[in-house]
């Protein structure tokens, strides 16, 4: 029944050979792998302005030079990642690069920061996507968390069904967004150069933040703006998706993406300043810009819609990335093996479920606010950038790369480390400190998991060439809870094994029960001795374990097998009406470290007709 | 580990013989069995006034004659319950009375209404107890649900530990409350007769409710006031707790309780009217009275404190009652057998947990409001009253009771049915309608549960004198997931049973795996054939079931046993790191209706030293 429901929701099982290795054209690759990166323009400018608010809107002019610096950084990091693309054509996520060049600890640091980033990509992108909706329809603002979690459920469902990252589906909204942005910025620039721009009313009722413009505020605003750079690494993870020559195509795409990203980001930031946009709780900065330039026309709604869709597509990329990294970590033994299971629809279902659960939790805790999530996000991303670049430096040293490549990588490393330091320091008390215990905890846990798997593999390995001794005789003990057909069938069944010793045991909770069961047993099974033990405190398990230990010690050349009759109800749900004592008994017998007893389960099924040929024996 | 935590929280297991049958003096009996009843004076007056508000405070004078009528009803119902006490000295809850006299459906109707009442007693009493606290400390009002649920958790914990209803602990706060009420009413009456009472300011800023005083409003107010009668039945449930002569002592106590209840209720209602108290969201009526008469003195806080404590004690009585009724219903097969389990501390732990879960849910849904819960509560109580009285009429007819007893019971029945009708009709749209589908659903479920248990008992009964045929030969199939020590040990173990046929089976998901496992198996276990099946869609379970069916059909004189090697990790929590495939396989094999296969589990334990004496075989 549960299986049916599952099939209805996520579809029929798919054969393993149905895995397709789609190859992307460069235009499709730009859409699929660039969406995460380009979508960050939806919130990066706003984050700069928000960080400048404490110094008053007079400080907003700083956003323009900051955007220029960040655009330079975007190109720098992109060049640097082009090296990664060439060096790791099989896909160079930070986990792989660090594992190969830097050792276990940096690899786990990179792996855990990558997992956290995927979770935050979902949380931030969905929060921003919902903000795009609620900017257009303010009445929905109070329902933003419910909408966000609804979208996560939808994405989870689609991904569990195994929606492929189809280039065509992605390409349309991504290019629509790029075109909308280009139109918006183009129109804005023309208006700027040909006549006065319409100043927004919010700018007139401006408030000085009350704080003096300090180096800290400037750095913090710069750090906030660096969220524009999130997602650049995605292309380097997806090199194998490109057509031949893969690395070259990926590198080209990376450069084009940097151009688009830098242009849109710088353009939006410039126009936002010129329009006098002030961040507000209820409308995003780019929505205010679009409103100012397009009014309430249909074009405004198209722009908001395409913004929302590319943010959801950005979130969706994590649904491919997170499970893939989790499965790599699981393959190396650092995460539970369950993340390795390819589900019925050829996706890593457990990874998808873990991601959506964690992202929904973050969205709820941070009250659906992009601004609150950004500090965590930015720190994680730049940690990953820095580790990747460091790995590449080691890689070039080992592989004797030429000086030019070395230099680019080194400059990239220096830049990302500097940004990482700025972001971490300025955002530390805004929530980034959480990442220190979180990452430390994850790494410790991963190491513990690895140790456990190594221990088990050693334990089960055939290299230690011995097994526990198997005693040839069989002592069988039937555990009887009631004298009924299930118990009698189990006794009959045990007999075919020709045990050296066959006994039955029952735990009674009072004298009455003892006598009753003894009489009934003797009348039905006179040839098998029944031991009735009394449990003073109604505990069934301790007396059974003690009894089985005593039986085990009685003869030296025998193996003890506990025979457990089990009634299986017709309907799975009916199990609720039964105590499940058989199940618990089996578990307790199997897990007791000092007990060397096997269990034989003799199921009696309510859904098979019980028309037998073995007459029930009766004492004469 | 879980066992340890449980022991720490609820204490060591107790022996069955530690059950004590405490006998209560009449004074103690009044405190224990009367607390539920007497505590309803804390909210009954308020409910009348609230129901009158729509007709304006000018209608409040009606509360006094209503209180007089209700007090008369209290005596009538008490007389009637005295008959129950004499007829059922073993304790005459409505379920028992209806079962013996009226048949299955009325018994289930009574039983389910009783369960619902116990849940509502907890919800209402705790909501009212919290209101007593928040009246004294208004800042706590916004935290009322958290406080209420905290109290439920505390009561649950105490009752799981098995706190006895010790007469002495109960007696003190109950008599303190009675004394406080007596003092309050006495002082109020003296003030009323000797000089003008201090009128409350609320009365001056009075508001007309805008509705005309209608018969509906009057009936509704009367119905609300009848909540004063809740809890009268408790004494009749607890007859066996009294000293000899039990019934006589219980009957005496019932009368005394009626006197105390009637006096306090009538007194509070009279004074509330004279003081001009108006119900408010933030302070209870009796708190306003106490404030008016005692000011902010220490006496006021003592009064509020004792009010709160007896309401919590009233809630606590349900923690004894609900599990007892649930266990009776479970014994008769109408509720899951789990409610019959006497837990480690000699209490029906599952009943306690179910009660607290349901009561906390109600408290949360109804936002911690006494007023919102009352309609449900009153209807359920009067349904129970009516069924009890009807049962008694049948009882007297069958047992030829004298005319006097008959008459009292009949008047009691007529009165409770009339009140039930009024309460149900006037509260129907205020939420009481919920009880119709709820009770109908519960009764249907109970009947279904009963049918299931009857079916299972018939199925397992030894009266049908046949068992499925047991074939003498043994075909054993070892399910192999990996060629490791666990699998090899299982093969060795299977061999001691001297099976007619011994095979092994592995499900591979690709060609590579097939070849690898075949090679490894042949090198280690050349004498047992291994069947390797390929699963195109990575589903392990369907191929195994199909395979076992084929094996079962191969020979006609054999029983098929699936041998499942199972690795048991050292620590219970480590199970999370393993796929639990063995567990699921076992369940699927056992529950397949067409598969007649037993399972033999061969555990290999990480916590036992694996220093064996059987060398691992190798092909030469």
Q: DSSP assignment of A482-536, as one string?
A: SSSHHHHHHHHHHHTT--SEEEEEEEESSHHHHHHHHHHHHHH-TTS-EEEEE-T
How far from the centroid of its chain's Cα atoms is residue A184's Cα? 36
Of A456, A469, A567, the CB nearest to B606: A456
Q: How confident is the model at residue B208 (pLDDT cuts 50, 70, 90)?
A: low
- Secondary structure (H, E, C), A7-59: HHHHCCCCCHHHCCCCCECHHHHHHHHHHHHHHHHHCHHHHHHHHHHHHCHHH
- The answer to whether residues B260 and B268 touch, using CB atoms and an 8 Å cutoff, is no
- Residue A204 is predicted with a pLDDT of 43
Task: Record the tokens describing residue A61, joined without a space.
Answer: 């002019």
What stretch of H or E contains B590? helix B581-591
User: Which residue pairs, CB below 8 angstroms and at least 24 apart, start in A85-88?
Assistant: A85/A235, A85/A236, A85/A239, A85/A247, A85/A250, A85/A251, A85/A254, A86/A247, A86/A251, A87/A392, A87/A395, A87/A399, A88/A236, A88/A239
On chain B, the residues whose CB falls within 8 A of the CB of A615 are 465-467
What stretch of H or E contains A559? strand A558-568
Q: Cα–Cα distances in Å, from B279 out to A215, B53, B264, B283, B312?
A: 59, 9, 19, 8, 22
Residue B485 and residue A460: Cβ atoms within 8 Å? Answer: yes
Question: Chain A within 8 Å of B584 (Cβ-Cβ)?
Answer: no
- Residue A262 is predicted with a pLDDT of 95
The CATH number of the structural domain formed by B2-10+22-110+160-327+377-445 is 1.20.1740.10
Residue B619: CB atoms within 10 A of its CB come to 10
Average pLDDT value for residue range B80-87: 87
Q: Is B94 exposed, middle or buried (0-12, 13-18, 19+ CB in 10 A)?
A: buried
Task: Record the tokens describing residue B234, joined without a space.
Answer: 């408790």
**Cβ neighbours of residue B216 under 8 Å, at least 6 residues apart?**
B426
Q: Is the pLDDT of residue B457 over 80?
A: yes
Q: Decide: helix, strand or coil at residue A566.
A: strand
Question: Chain B within 8 Å of A612 (Cβ-Cβ)?
Answer: yes
Question: Could you read off the pLDDT of B254-294 as tens digits, one per residue?
Answer: 999 999 999 999 999 999 999 989 999 889 999 999 998 88
Tell me, what DSSP letter sits at residue B475?
A: E
Question: Chain B within 8 Å of A72 (Cβ-Cβ)?
Answer: no
Distance CA A29, CA A257 (A): 10
Distance CA A308, CA A292 (A): 19
On chain B, the residues whose CB falls within 8 A of the CB of A449 are 577
What stretch of H or E contains A321? helix A298-331
Task: Record the tokens describing residue B216, joined without a space.
Answer: 């509906």
Alpha carbon dihedral B158, B162, B166, B170, in 10-degree steps, equals 20
On chain A, the residues whose CB falls within 8 A of the CB of B338 are 579
- Residue A233 is predicted with a pLDDT of 84
Distance CA B351, CA B357 (A): 10
3-state DSSP helix/strand/coil % of chain B, to nearest 5: 70, 5, 25
Question: Chain A within 8 Å of B466 (Cβ-Cβ)?
Answer: yes
Task: Record the tokens describing residue B432, joined without a space.
Answer: 């009481």
Give the phi and the psi of residue B197 in degrees, each rounded to 5.
-75, 150
- Strand-pairing partners, residue A505, are A479, A531
Gap from B51 CA to chain A (nearest CA, Å): 35
Distance CA A381, CA A228 (A): 11
Gap from B22 CA to chain A (nearest CA, Å): 20
Average pLDDT value for residue range B44-59: 91
Nearest Cα to Cα of residue B415 among B118, B72, B65, B126:
B72
On chain B, the residues whose CB falls within 8 A of the CB of A483 are 462
On chain A, the residues whose CB falls within 8 A of the CB of B601 are 586, 590, 598-601
Of A16, A470, A484, the CB nearest to B493: A470
Distance CA A94, CA A107 (A): 7
Gap from B332 CA to chain A (nearest CA, Å): 14
Residue B612 and residue A469: Cβ atoms within 8 Å? Answer: yes
Q: Cα–Cα distances in Å, from A485 out to A363, B311, B461?
A: 55, 51, 6
Q: Is the pLDDT of residue B419 over 50?
A: yes
Residue B466 and residue A612: Cβ atoms within 8 Å? Answer: yes
On chain B, the residues whose CB falls within 8 A of the CB of A455 are 606
- The answer to whether residues A477 and A505 touch, using CB atoms and an 8 Å cutoff, is yes
Distance CA A272, CA A63 (A): 9
Q: Which residue of A has its CA nearest to B467?
A: A612
Of A482, A559, A601, the CB nearest to B590: A601
Residue B559 and residue A604: Cβ atoms within 8 Å? Answer: no
Q: DSSP assignment of B386-437, as one string?
A: HHHHHHHHHHHHHTT--HHHHHHHHHHHHHHHHHHHHHHHHHGGGTGGGHHH
Domains of chain B, residue spans: 2-10+22-110+160-327+377-445, 473-605
- Residue A208 is predicted with a pLDDT of 55
More confident residue, B207 or A268: A268
Nearest Cα to Cα of residue B156 among B433, B410, B335, B345:
B345
Of B15, B449, B599, the CB nearest to A536: B15
The CATH number of the structural domain formed by A473-605 is 3.40.50
Gap from B155 CA to chain A (nearest CA, Å): 24
Question: Could you read off the pLDDT of A110-128 as tens digits, one per residue?
Answer: 999 999 999 999 999 999 9
- Ranges in chain A, pLDDT < 70: 1, 20-22, 92, 163-168, 201-210, 464-465, 607-620
More confident residue, A471 or B613: A471
> For chain A, what is the largest distance between any 2 Cα atoms, rounded to a whole number of angstroms?
114
Give the phi and the psi of residue B531 in degrees, each rounded to 5.
-95, 125
| Same topology between domain A21-388+414-452 and domain A473-605 | no
Gap from A202 CA to chain B (nearest CA, Å): 37
E-only strand ranges, B199-350:
none
- Residue B616 is predicted with a pLDDT of 53
Instruction: Determine if the peptide bond prior to A267 is cis (ω within 30°).
Output: no
Give the phi and the psi of residue A281 in degrees, each rounded to 5.
-70, -30
On chain A, the residues whose CB falls within 8 A of the CB of B488 are 462, 467
Q: Which residue of A has its CA nearest to B14?
A: A537
Question: Chain A within 8 Å of B510 (Cβ-Cβ)?
Answer: yes
On chain B, the residues whose CB falls within 8 A of the CB of A509 are 16
On chain B, the residues whose CB falls within 8 A of the CB of A14 are 537
- The answer to whether residues B470 and A492 touch, using CB atoms and an 8 Å cutoff, is yes
Residue bearing tokens 């008599």: B175
Residue A455 and residue B493: Cβ atoms within 8 Å? Answer: no
- Residue A359 is predicted with a pLDDT of 96
- The answer to whether residues A214 and A63 touch, using CB atoms and an 8 Å cutoff, is no
Question: Chain A within 8 Å of B557 (Cβ-Cβ)?
Answer: no
Of B465, B493, B578, the CB nearest to A598: B493
- Residue A205 is predicted with a pLDDT of 42
More confident residue, A1 or B60: B60
Question: Chain B within 8 Å of A602 (Cβ-Cβ)?
Answer: yes
Interface of A with B in 477-506 (CB under 8 A): 482-486, 488-489, 492-493, 495-498
More confident residue, B241 or B205: B241
Give the fold, CATH level 3, of A21-388+414-452: Amino acid/polyamine transporter I (1.20.1740)
Residue B485 and residue A337: Cβ atoms within 8 Å? Answer: no
Task: Record the tokens describing residue B269, joined without a space.
Answer: 């209602």
- The answer to whether residues B276 and B199 touch, using CB atoms and an 8 Å cutoff, is yes
Q: How confident is the model at residue B619 (pLDDT cuts 50, 70, 90)?
A: very low
Residue bearing tokens 């039930």: B420
How many beta-carbon pairs under 8 angstroms link A with B?
237
Q: What is the ipTM of this complex?
A: 0.82
Question: Chain A within 8 Å of B425 (Cβ-Cβ)?
Answer: no
Of A15, A336, A497, the CB nearest to B536: A15
- Residue A396 is predicted with a pLDDT of 85
Gap from A183 CA to chain B (nearest CA, Å): 48
Compute the mean pLDDT over every residue in chain B, rounded to the nearest whole number.
87
Of B449, B610, B614, the CB nearest to A470: B614
Residue A486 and residue B460: Cβ atoms within 8 Å? Answer: yes
**Cβ neighbours of residue B197 under 8 Å, at least 6 residues apart?**
B188, B191, B274, B275, B292
- Residue A37 is predicted with a pLDDT of 92
Distance CA B502, CA B474 (A): 9
Residue A460 and residue B604: Cβ atoms within 8 Å? Answer: yes
On chain B, the residues whose CB falls within 8 A of the CB of A593 are 605, 607-608
Q: Which residue of A has its CA nearest to B577?
A: A336
Residue B615 and residue A576: Cβ atoms within 8 Å? Answer: no
Instruction: Determine if the peptide bond prior to A95 is cis (ω within 30°).
Output: no
Could you tell me the pTM of the whole model?
0.80
Gap from B147 CA to chain A (nearest CA, Å): 23
Question: Could you read off the pLDDT of B334-390 as tens digits, one per residue?
Answer: 999 989 888 777 788 899 999 999 999 999 999 999 999 998 999 999 999 999 889
How far from the centroid of its chain's Cα atoms is residue B176's Cα? 29
Distance CA B612, CA B485 (A): 11
On chain B, the residues whose CB falls within 8 A of the CB of A452 are 569, 574, 577
Q: Is B379 exposed, middle or buried (0-12, 13-18, 19+ CB in 10 A)?
A: buried
On chain A, the residues whose CB falls within 8 A of the CB of B606 are 455-456, 459
In chain B, % of residues over pLDDT 70: 94
**Cβ neighbours of residue B308 under 8 Å, at least 6 residues apart?**
B129, B130, B132, B133
Helix axis angle, A94-101 relative to A104-136, nearest 10°? 170
Question: Chain B within 8 Å of A467 (Cβ-Cβ)?
Answer: yes
What stretch of H or E contains B258? helix B246-275
Query: Half-sphere exposure of residue B167, counting CA atoms within 13 Å on the CB side?
Result: 13
Distance CA B341, CA A136 (A): 59
On chain A, the residues whose CB falls within 8 A of the CB of B591 are 568, 572, 603, 605
Distance CA A192, CA A189 (A): 5
Question: Chain A within 8 Å of B331 (Cβ-Cβ)?
Answer: no
On chain A, the residues whose CB falls within 8 A of the CB of B524 are 462
């Amino acid at each position: 029944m549960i299986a049916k429901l599952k099939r209805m929701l996520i579809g029929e099982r798919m054969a393993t050979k149905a895995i397709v290795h789609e190859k992307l054209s460069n235009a499709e690759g730009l859409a699929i792998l660039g969406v995460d990166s380009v979508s960050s323009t939806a919130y990066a400018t706003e984050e700069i302005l928000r960080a400048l608010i404490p110094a008053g809107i007079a400080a907003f002019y700083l956003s323009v030079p900051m955007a220029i610096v960040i655009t330079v950084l975007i190109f720098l990091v992109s060049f640097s990642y082009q090296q990664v693309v060439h060096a790791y054509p099989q896909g160079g996520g930070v986990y792989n690069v660090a594992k190969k060049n830097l050792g276990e600890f940096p690899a786990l640091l990179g792996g855990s920061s990558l997992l956290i980033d995927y979770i935050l990509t979902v949380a931030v992108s969905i929060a921003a996507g919902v903000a795009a909706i609620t900017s257009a329809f303010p009445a929905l603002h109070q329902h933003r968390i419910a909408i966000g979690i609804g979208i996560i459920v939808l994405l989870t469902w689609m991904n569990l069904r195994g929606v492929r990252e189809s280039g065509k589906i992605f390409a349309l909204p991504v290019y629509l967004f790029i075109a909308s942005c280009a139109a918006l910025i183009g129109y804005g620039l023309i208006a700027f150069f040909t006549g006065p721009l319409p100043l927004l009313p919010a700018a007139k009722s401006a408030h000085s933040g009350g704080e003096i413009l300090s180096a800290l505020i400037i750095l913090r605003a710069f750090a906030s703006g660096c969220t524009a750079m999130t997602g650049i690494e995605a292309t380097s993870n997806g090199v194998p998706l490109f057509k031949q020559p893969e690395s070259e195509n990926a590198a080209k795409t990376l450069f084009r993406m940097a151009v688009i990203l830098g242009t849109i980001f710088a353009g939006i930031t410039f126009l936002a300043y010129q329009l006098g946009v002030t961040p507000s709780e209820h409308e995003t900065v780019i929505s205010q810009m679009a409103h100012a330039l397009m009014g309430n026309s249909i074009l405004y709604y198209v722009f908001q819609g395409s913004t929302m869709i590319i943010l959801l597509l950005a979130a969706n990329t994590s649904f491919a990335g997170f499970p893939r990294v989790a499965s790599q970590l699981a393959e190396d033994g650092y995460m539970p093996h369950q993340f390795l299971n390819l589900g019925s629809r050829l996706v890593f279902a457990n990874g998808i479920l873990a991601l959506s659960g964690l992202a929904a939790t973050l969205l709820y805790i941070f009250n659906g606010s992009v601004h609150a999530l950004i500090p965590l996000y930015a720190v994680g991303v730049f940690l990953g950038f820095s580790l990747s670049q460091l790995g590449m430096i080691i890689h070039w040293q080992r592989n004797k790369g030429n000086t030019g490549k070395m230099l680019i990588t080194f400059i990239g490393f220096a830049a990302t480390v500097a940004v990482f330091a700025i972001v971490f320091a300025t955002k530390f008390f805004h929530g980034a400190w959480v990442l220190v215990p979180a990452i430390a905890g994850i790494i410790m846990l991963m190491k513990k998991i690895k140790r456990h798997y190594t221990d088990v593999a050693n334990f089960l390995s055939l290299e230690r060439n011995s097994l526990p001794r198997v005693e040839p005789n069989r002592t069988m003990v039937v555990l009887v809870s009631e004298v009924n057909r299930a118990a009698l069938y189990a006794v009959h069944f045990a007999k075919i094994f020709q045990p050296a010793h066959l006994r039955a045991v029952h735990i009674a909770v009072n004298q009455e029960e003892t006598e009753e069961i003894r009489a009934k047993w003797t009348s039905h099974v006179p040839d098998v001795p029944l031991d009735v033990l009394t449990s003073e405190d109604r505990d069934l398990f301790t007396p059974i374990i003690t009894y089985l230990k005593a039986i085990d010690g009685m003869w030296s050349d025998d193996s003890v097998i506990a025979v457990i009759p089990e009634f299986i109800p017709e309907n799975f749900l009916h199990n609720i009406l039964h105590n499940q004592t058989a199940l618990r008994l089996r578990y307790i017998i199997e897990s007791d470290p000092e007990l060397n007893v096997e269990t034989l389960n003799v199921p009696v099924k309510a859904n098979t007709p019980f028309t037998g040929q073995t007459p029930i024996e009766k004492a004469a």
